[in-house]
Amino acid sequence: MPNAALADDDDARSSTRQTNPNTDPDILQLDQTGQRLAGIQTQTLTAVQQTPEFAAYGTVLNPEPLLNIRQQFLAASAQQDSAKARYSEAAQNLNRTRDLHQHDIVSTRRLQEQQAIWQADKANLASNSYQQQLIAANSRLLWGDTLSNWFTKAQDKNAIQLLEHRAQLLQITLPANSQLDPSVNVIHIHERGLRQAALPAILISSAPQVDPVSQGPRYFFKCADCRLPFGTHITAWIPEGGRADSGVTIPQSALIWHLGQAFAFIKTDANHFSRCALNHYSGNSQGYFVADGLPPGAEIVTTGAQTLLSQQLKGLIPDEDKD
């Protein structure tokens, strides 16, 4: 009785052959039985548009310095409220004492004492106001207007989100001599550089200081879905703005590699597959965006592409080398 494994191998070879390999080695013929055994699955490509992106790098920031600014500002604000109340009371007492003095009910010395109290409370109120202004000004030098405004309010939902770890503060550094396009409000980030798993982050503002090493501009972003340790280095994908590129999106499983070149298989008819080189592609949340080489409407192999490549490469081996 013939060996079953040899019989199966003969069946696979009989169902897989090259179609005129001398003229087009990238075409593979595989009948329905062979496709079923290889588990081939396909999907039809649809046209999509994607804005070009470039990579930048950043860090997850600890909001503790902003918390300290918040505490200092709110403490100064409470002191100012107290100083304002004392000044208001002193002003009322001074007016009352002045009226009594005009009617010779209180002495001039008493009026002078009340004027001194009013003057001291006025100076104290001004001092507290200057203290608040100084705290806010120092914050703006480090964090910019938006973050400073968030953290110097008694109740601000954005500041509360960051302090309660329901969102994280990111600092992204762009390459030198570049800037964020004015139309860009959302970027995508990932701590391991995986574009397909990247999370969205919303622009807060530009940072007042550039990177001291690269001299690249810095921007602050807020990521509501991030739960990363403070100090984590992240990769960011920044839309370049302008007109979007047209192309198709393929799943990760459709892309295969051979000799350092990326490929995908297109099913050209019921029994034929064509191997297409992918020279320009970029990762996105669905897989890979391909701007050229794969037309919309084509049927791409999503499962079994590696098996097709193996069978194709076997077919390129001369018969005398198979013995």
The model's pTM is 0.67
**What does the buried/exposed string (b/e) look like for 73-103 if buried means 16 or more CB atoms within 10 Å of the residue's CB?**
bbebbebbeebeebbeebeeebeebeeebee
Q: What's the mean pLDDT in 62-79? A: 91
Q: Which pLDDT value is given to residue 8?
A: 43
- Work out the pLDDT band at 285, boundaries 50, 70, 90: confident
Indicate the residue type of 22: N
Q: Which pLDDT value is given to residue 195?
A: 87
Percent of the residues in the chain that have a pLDDT greater than 70, as a whole number = 89
Among 25, 27, 19, 1, CA closest to 266: 27
Q: What's the mean pLDDT in 103-118? A: 80
Measured between alpha carbons, how far is residue 254 from residues 75, 149, 210, 271 in Å?
A: 59, 48, 41, 18
Average pLDDT, the chain: 85
H or E segment to which residue 182 belongs: none
What SS3 state is found at 143? helix
Residue that wins the pLDDT comparison between 9 and 314: 314
What are the pLDDT digits (tens) for 113-126? 878 887 877 777 77
Q: Which pLDDT value is given to residue 5?
A: 38
